[in-house]
Amino acid sequence: MTGPAAGGPAIDGSGTERARCVLAPNPSPMTLDGTNTWLIAEPGSAAAVVVDPGPDDEGHLRRVCSAAEHAGQRITAIVLTHGHPDHSAGARTLAGLTGAGVRAVDLAHRLGDEGLPPGSVITTGGTELEVLPTPGHTADSVSLYLRADRAVLTGDTVLGRGTTVIAHDGDLGDYLRSLDLLRSLADSTELNALLPGHGPLLADPRAVLDFYARHRAERLGQIRAALAAGDRTPRQIVERVYADVDRGLWPAAELSVRAQLGYLAGRDELPPGMDQLS
């Protein structure tokens, strides 16, 4: 699940030397062009990793299998950046088509014994994918550092367009720390690209991450101003702060407002007696 953003071109086939995108046919205001399913493999490897199979759409999943077969590769591992259905619903079907296990933070989404502990490295596919814990959008969100290409697969932590919603089980404090982690990695490794779960490849990671941090700071400032003006419910704040956003996206905006109120509550910044979830 993403934040509001405009439409744009499909990016099927784009990526890096070791990461190829197969675009799922599930475009919407919340998924942008659709879910980016990533095939990860070292050139010449006989095995490949699928990151985020996307929806349970057999045509899409067979396209993913065909893309691997065309490169002379067999899918031997499936990895989920998080459990939202637009990323994970096709995992069991793809596992049935390929015999691959499913690795995820959330036990409910795993097929097999392997999870995604922070700092672990996935070597299936002949290249290294390092697991970076990046909770915030959801509690189970991870990113994957493709070291050889100096690229990070970000799931919904960073999008190709627009900004990310903090979901029901997300946390803004965690999210801000995750942005800091990715920004530090960008500084220390001179990242070439961010490979998001929706939208196009991002070729200037530091600029994008700086924008995300500024955006969150600006939104918090707007929330504080709305509270100072007398707003006391998430809906009232959405009506003020997101007045220029399509009303069909206000439910998603309200999720982010609730997350921001929770963050401010943790810092004792809510007005006395206010229930942030009212």
Average pLDDT, the chain: 92
Strands 101-103 and 74-79, by their bridges, are parallel
pLDDT digits (tens, 9 = 90+) for 157-195: 999 999 999 988 999 999 999 999 999 999 999 899 999
CATH number of the domain where residue 46 is located: 3.60.15.10
Q: Report if residue 101 sits inside a domain.
A: yes
Q: Report if residue 215 sits inside a domain.
A: no
Q: Does position 9 have pLDDT exceeding 90, yes or no?
A: no
Q: Supply the pLDDT for residue 278.
A: 55
Q: Report if residue 164 sits inside a domain.
A: yes
Q: Report if residue 237 sits inside a domain.
A: no
pLDDT digits (tens, 9 = 90+) for 233-269: 999 999 999 999 889 889 989 999 999 999 999 999 9
Q: Report if residue 55 sits inside a domain.
A: yes
pTM of the full structure: 0.92
Q: Report if residue 224 sits inside a domain.
A: no
Residues 32/65, Cβ–Cβ less than 8 Å: no
Number of domains present in the structure of the chain: 1
Q: Supply the pLDDT for residue 249.
A: 87
pLDDT digits (tens, 9 = 90+) for 128-147: 999 999 999 999 999 999 99
Domain containing residue 82: 19-204
Q: Report if residue 211 sits inside a domain.
A: no
pLDDT digits (tens, 9 = 90+) for 95-130: 999 999 999 999 999 999 899 999 999 999 999 999
Q: Does position 4 have pLDDT exceeding 60, yes or no?
A: no
Q: Report if residue 1 sits inside a domain.
A: no
Higher pLDDT, 21 or 13: 21
